[in-house]
């Protein structure tokens, strides 16, 4: 099972809190998601930090990834409405469907991973740099 599928299977609140932790929020994700899941995530982060240590990487601008983002968003729009996708940018509404949000994030990640290798890497770096 892919990590994002496991997150989604645990319900909207767990998935949302994992992706968007609130300041001061303390959740034992190992108890909720399993030690193996958490260890895989920690290993991934450790590998990213080690691989980037001592290297300066250019900031990935939206202009650089725009064609890939347009393609990914186009695919997402075949499964989700424009209104649902706009929820990714505004997480505050009281009526936010956290389970739907997590499904969209899972679909977004899957579509980005389906991009060709250099494009996939740029898109992931774009999202990770905030």
Instruction: Give the pLDDT confidence score for residue 128 in this predicted structure.
Output: 80
Label residue 130 by pLDDT band (50, 70, 90). Answer: low
DSSP code, position 20: S
Instruction: Give the pLDDT confidence score for residue 92 in this predicted structure.
Output: 64
Q: Alpha-carbon distance 47 to 10, whole Å?
A: 26
Greater pLDDT, 114 or 45:
114
Residue-wise DSSP of 45-69: HHHHHHHHTT---PPPPHHHHHHHH
Domain layout of the chain by residue ranges: 3-128
CA distances from 106 to 26, 50, 53, 61, 126 (A): 23, 26, 28, 23, 17
Query: Residues 54-111: pLDDT tens digits?
Result: 777 788 899 999 999 999 999 999 999 998 888 777 766 567 788 888 889 889 988 9
Query: Residues 33-59: pLDDT tens digits?
Result: 889 888 888 887 787 777 767 777 788
Instruction: Give the pLDDT confidence score for residue 68 in this predicted structure.
Output: 96
The SS3 call for residue 28 is coil
């Amino acid at each position: 099972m892919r990590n994002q599928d496991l997150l989604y299977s645990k319900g909207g609140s767990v998935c949302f809190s994992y992706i968007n932790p609130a300041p001061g929020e303390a959740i034992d994700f190992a108890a909720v998601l399993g030690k193996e899941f958490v260890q895989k995530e920690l290993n991934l982060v450790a590998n990213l930090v080690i691989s980037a240590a001592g290297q300066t990487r250019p900031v990935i601008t939206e202009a650089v990834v725009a064609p890939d983002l347009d393609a990914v968003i186009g695919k997402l729009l075949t499964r989700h409405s424009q209104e649902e996708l706009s929820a990714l940018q505004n997480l505050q509404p009281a009526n936010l469907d956290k389970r739907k949000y997590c499904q969209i994030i899972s679909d977004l990640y899957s579509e980005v991973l389906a991009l060709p290798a250099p494009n996939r890497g740029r898109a992931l770096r774009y999202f990770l740099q905030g």
